[in-house]
Amino acid sequence: MSFLNNYESKQKGGKTNQAPEGMTMAEILANKSDSINFGLYLKTERTDPALTERLISGTLKDGDINELEGLRSVFAKKIEKARELSDYINEENVVSLAGKSPGVQKILNLMVPAKAVTVFKNMFEKMSITDGATFSTISSAITTLEDYKNGKLKDVEDGVQCLIEKYRIKDEEALTEALQIKNKASREEALAKIVKDGHGKIRKLFDWMTDGNSGFFRDPSLIAKVSELNKKKGQIEKAILEVNKKMKSVGEVLASSVNNNPDLLNAFSKELIGKKVDKDGNNSAFKDLYSVPETEKTEEEIIKEMQVSLDKKIKDMGATWTAKTKKEKDDYVNTAFKNDYKDDSKKEYKKKSGFWSFFFSMLFDSFDKKVDSIDKTKFKY
């Protein structure tokens, strides 16, 4: 690959005379997965296809080097970031995730953790190139998991543990009982109720305490307010009892939040995240899948849509269309127009598909066949 030697020597012989940052072009092309991803990256960046061809065939021109260098540098950074983050996804952490996710558990029933790790790493690198938005969401989630595992959020949990010890807070009796329920569905239902009630209490109290109008505890003239209790012993004692009650209530919710029982964690997850969950308690990645049935349009619907598109194209062509012979018009409708329509539809659907673009590509085989089978006589032109 002499063009590569030429390319690399130009990279190294630049102004700074330093080795390029990240993977070199030779390294990218020598690795099957990296070279495929680099190809995808060139496509994503809408690079001139001729540049890709020149790169593959080893006929790069001088002007290509600078452009490629810019692309290589960004590509290398993206891949490096994906690799760095996906280091967290090791066998141990995947097994741990499976303990909290029935979905991942099912996947691990089908493949060994090592395979799941490899698939994730490869897909994550590809995603860094092709789907920046999803990559960013997952990256941010991995950072949270890493921070948690590395103890960066430990201060908060330690604070809760200190309080538990200081006030000798025990789990609510109801919580202890709920955790012992043998039937899974009943146990989950009981835990969900406890978490909902507890969180309701804590949220109500927090809203009240932080409300500008009634925020008694937040008022800077706190002591003055206390003095307003008319210095009547009974009233103050009653207020202390009330504060104790609230502290017990908050303390119990905090204590349950550091209980590592998976069912309780799941109940917290559902209550606190406040998302719409299906019966498995999941959401996110699978939601996008439901735009797919749009490709399952009936023939009548497709004909109607194609007619609108054809009318527009004929209008755009103007005199060129009028000048065409009957045969040329028929040929256009049968080939170029149908191909354009299929391509436009794919682009449109892919925009909606997000994570599940693979599924669209499967469906498009049947979609293409449907469009191809429509006879030109079904259109008016």
Query: What's the min distance (Å) between Cβ of 88 and another protein?
Result: 9
Q: Which is nearer to another protein, 31 or 269 (CB)?
A: 269
Is residue 345 within 8 Å of 306, Cβ to Cβ?
Answer: no
Q: Which is nearer to another protein, 105 or 176 (CB)?
A: 105
Nearest to 82 by CA among 119, 116, 121: 121
Neighbours of 249 (CB within 10 A): 17
Q: Output the six-digit token pair for 73.
A: 């540098």
Is residue 173 within 8 Å of 255, Cβ to Cβ?
Answer: no
Q: Which is nearer to another protein, 196 or 312 (CB)?
A: 196
Is residue 127 within 8 Å of 138, Cβ to Cβ?
Answer: yes
Judged by CB under 8 A, the residue of 55, 142, 333, 371 near another protein is 142
Query: What's the min distance (Å) between Cβ of 250 and another protein?
Result: 5
Query: What's the min distance (Å) between Cβ of 26 and another protein?
Result: 27
Is residue 314 within 8 Å of 341, Cβ to Cβ?
Answer: no
Judged by CB under 8 A, the residue of 94, 178, 310, 314 near another protein is 94
Applying CB under 8 A, the span of 24-32, 58-66, 96-104, 175-183 interacting with another protein comes to 96-104
Nearest to 158 by CA among 258, 249, 81, 59: 258
Q: Which is nearer to another protein, 4 or 107 (CB)?
A: 107
Compute the Cα dihedral for 130, 360, 112, 30 and give only its sign.
negative
Judged by CB under 8 A, the residue of 71, 251, 332, 341 near another protein is 251
Q: Does 285 bind another protein (CB under 8 A)?
A: yes
Nearest to 102 by CA among 263, 258, 288, 260: 263
Judged by CB under 8 A, the residue of 74, 95, 160, 174 near another protein is 160
Q: Does 280 bind another protein (CB under 8 A)?
A: yes
Query: What's the min distance (Å) between Cβ of 33 and another protein?
Result: 12
Helix 62-86 and helix 132-149, axial crossing angle in degrees, nearest 10:
40
Query: What's the min distance (Å) between Cβ of 347 and another protein?
Result: 20
Q: Does 112 bind another protein (CB under 8 A)?
A: no
Query: What's the min distance (Å) between Cβ of 145 and another protein?
Result: 6
CA distances from 374 to 271, 305, 371 (A): 51, 12, 6
Query: What's the min distance (Å) between Cβ of 152 and another protein?
Result: 10
Query: What's the min distance (Å) between Cβ of 254 and another protein?
Result: 5
- Restricting to residues 74-93, which ones interact with another protein according to CB under 8 A? 89
Is residue 271 within 8 Å of 192, Cβ to Cβ?
Answer: yes
Per-residue mark of binding to another protein, 292-311 (x: CB under 8 A): xx--x---------------
Distance CA 221, CA 218 (A): 9
Neighbours of 5 (CB within 10 A): 10
The string of DSSP codes covering 300-326 is HHHHHHHHHHHHHHHHHHTHHHHHS-H
- Restricting to residues 211-250, which ones interact with another protein according to CB under 8 A? 216-218, 222-223, 226-227, 229, 231, 233, 236-237, 239-240, 243-244, 246-247, 250
Distance CA 57, CA 285 (A): 39
Query: What's the min distance (Å) between Cβ of 143 and another protein?
Result: 8
- Restricting to residues 172-191, which ones interact with another protein according to CB under 8 A? none
Judged by CB under 8 A, the residue of 119, 317, 328, 336 near another protein is 119
Is residue 5 within 8 Å of 65, Cβ to Cβ?
Answer: no
Judged by CB under 8 A, the residue of 206, 301, 311, 339 near another protein is 206
